[in-house]
Amino acid sequence: MANIFDLFKKIEKESAPAAPVTHIVCGLGNPGDKYVCTRHNAGFVALDYLAKEMGVTCNKIKFKALTGECTINGVRVLLMKPQTYMNASGEAVSEAAAFYKIPAENIIVISDDIMQNIGRLRIRKSGSAGGQKGLKSIIEHLKTENFPRIRIGVGQKPTPEYDLADWVLGKIPKEDESAYFAACKQIPDIVALLLKGDTDGAMCKYNGFVGK
């Protein structure tokens, strides 16, 4: 009889509804095969590493994004890859935030950073877009800069005259892939720290990290 009760408890646990989503982790990029492994898609790549670590696939179309849900350290999280193209990322993020009533400080955004060397990480609690159009769009739609972000270095333009669009939409060179992917692989650990509220710890440990 005890075994039957254990079975009932197991079924009840498995069928129990998931806790409500309280946080968003959004990776920025552009949809479409031609943008795979471009500098601008660092956020997508990093989010894929996080999703894989959590055993989730971001394949549900919702809020103008590819989404998936998971629980990280007891926190229910919506993972997002906006499909609006980079410059309109804020449309997707603000729509999801409004639906779940999530404050800006509970939204973690992952993006590329052309001011940092390839594979170098930079975590900030808040701040301006720094020229990153996806962050700019999110700031405009949320009407605040007060959300944490993780920026992944993809290298600076070789010359000031080099066209910015050509640079960010260019592929990561083979010789830089090791450093780039090494940085992206740190994202699950960083996100876990941020969700615990240990932003200072994440910054102390990972700011300046350079993949090899």
- 165-177 burial, b at 16+ Cβ within 10 Å, e below that, comes to eebbbbebeeebe
pLDDT for 163-204, tens place per residue?
A: 999 999 999 999 999 999 999 999 999 999 999 999 999 999
12: CB partners within 8 A, 6+ apart: none
Which CATH number applies to 19-206?
3.40.50.1470
Q: Tell me what percent of the residues of the chain surpass a pLDDT of 90.
A: 86
Residues noted as catalytic:
40
Q: At what angle do helices 199-206 and 187-195 cross, to 10 degrees?
A: 150
pLDDT value, residue 176: 94
Over 70: is that where the pLDDT of 7 sits? no
Over 90: is that where the pLDDT of 3 sits? no
Over 80: is that where the pLDDT of 1 sits? no
Q: Is the dihedral of CA 131, 118, 29, 109 positive or negative?
A: negative
pLDDT for 38-97, tens place per residue?
A: 999 999 999 999 999 999 999 999 999 999 999 998 999 999 999 999 999 999 999 999
Q: Average per-residue pLDDT in the chain? A: 91
pLDDT value, residue 207: 95
Strand 107-113 relative to strand 121-124, pairing: unpaired
Q: Give the H/E segment covering residue 109.
A: strand 107-113
